[in-house]
Amino acid sequence: MHTMTSLLKKMKQEEKLVMLTAYDYPSAKLAEAAGVDIILVGDSLGMVVLGYDSTIPVTISDMVHHAKAVRRGARDTFVVVDMPFATYHGDFDRTLQAAATLFQDGQADAIKLEGAGEVLETIERLTKVGMPCVAHLGLTPQSVGVLEGYKVQGKSLEDAEQLIADSLEAERVGAKMLVLECVPHQLAKKIAEALSIPVIGIGAGADVDGQVLVYHDILKYGVDRLPKFVEAYADVNEVATTAIRNYVDATKDGSFPLERHTFTMDESLLDTLYG
Ligand code: KIV
Ligand code: NA
C-alpha cells in the first residue's frame, strides 16, 4: 500500500507529476523503470488492449485482472485503478463492493471515478470508508453515449463555471487528485491554481501539476490515429511489424533457426535410437 497524499501535495509545488497508463506486467515494469510517478490502470484498456471501440464493455473483473499484473510489474509505484462503467452509481453497497474489490484483489493504491454530481458524493462516502479516490472531470469517456462525441469540454462560460465549481467540489469531498481531460489550457490553469490537490491533465495544456497519457499512444503501439494532445515518443508499430516480418521471412527462407539457436545431443546415441 502506497500512501502518497502528502508527497503528491508537495510535488504539486515542486515538480511536475508524470502519470502513465499500464495494463500488464511488461508495461508496468517499463513504466516503473523509466521513472513514472503514478501508474494508471485505465479502463482505456478496453480500447487499446482488448480492442473494444469504447470503454463501456470493461468490467470490474477485467480491471482486477489487469491491475494484478501491473502490480506484479511495478511493486514500488503508486497505482491508480479506474472504476469501470456503471459500477459506482445507484446503490452505494454495490459501489462499495466494487471499490473494495479493486483495493483488495486489484491491490490499487487509489481508484478513479468519472463525473461530478452524485459521483462526487460517492467519492466523499468512499473516502470516509478509507478509500483514496481520484476524480476525473472534463471529457469523461464512459459518458460517450450521452456526450456529443469525444470533444473539448468547458469552452462556454457556463460550462467553464460549472467545471470550476465541480473541481472545487472534488477537492472538498476529499479527492486526492483530479484528472482533467480535454479542457482549454486557460481553464485548466485556473483550476490547478484554485486547488491544493494535484491536477493532472490530458489534453489540458502545460499549466497543470502533471500529465497523464496512454501507454500505447506514447509508444504508437497498436494504435493508428492519435488524438491531438498526444506526443508519440516511439513507433512500436513500425519496429514490431518489421521485427515480426523478419521472423516470418527468415523462417520461410530457412535462415532461422541457426546453429546457435539449436540444441545438440551426442551423435553416437543416435545409432542406438534408430537401431
Ligand atoms: O482510462 C484512461 O486511460 C484514463 C486516462 C486517459 C486519464 O482515464
Ligand atoms: Na479511464
Residues 41, 85 within the same domain: yes
Rounded alpha-carbon distances, angstroms, from residue 136 to 60, 108, 144, 199: 18, 17, 14, 10
Residues 135, 265 within the same domain: no
Provide the domain limits for residue 225. Answer: 5-235
**Measured distance CA(67)–CA(69) in Å, rounded:** 5
Residues 265, 164 within the same domain: no
Report how many domains make up the chain: 2
**Measured distance CA(46)–CA(53) in Å, rounded:** 8
Ligand 1, atom nearest to 214 Cα: 3
The predicted-structure confidence for 218-269, as pLDDT tens digits, reads as follows 999 999 999 999 999 999 999 999 999 999 999 999 999 999 999 999 988 9
Residues 10, 117 within the same domain: yes
**Measured distance CA(127)–CA(213) in Å, rounded:** 26
Residues that are catalytic: 181
Ligand 1, atom nearest to 200 Cα: 7
Tell me what ipTM this predicted complex has.
Answer: 0.99
Predicted model pTM: 0.95
Our answer on whether the CB atom of 202 is closer than 6 Å to any ligand 1 atom is yes
Residues 139, 28 within the same domain: yes
The predicted-structure confidence for 155-189, as pLDDT tens digits, reads as follows 999 999 999 999 999 999 999 999 999 999 999 99
Residues 156, 262 within the same domain: no
**pLDDT score recorded for residue 56:** 96
Helix pair angle (185-194, 157-172), 10° resolution? 30
Cell of 49: 488492449
Residues 113, 230 within the same domain: yes
Mean residue pLDDT of the chain comes to 95
**pLDDT score recorded for residue 148:** 79
> Does 1 have pLDDT greater than 60?
no
**pLDDT score recorded for residue 10:** 65
Q: Indicate the top mutation candidate among 21, 24, 70 to test ligand 1's pocket, ranked by most ligand atoms within 8 A of CB.
A: 21
Please tell me the residue having the least CA distance from ligand 1 atom 8. 42
DSSP bridge partners of 151 = none
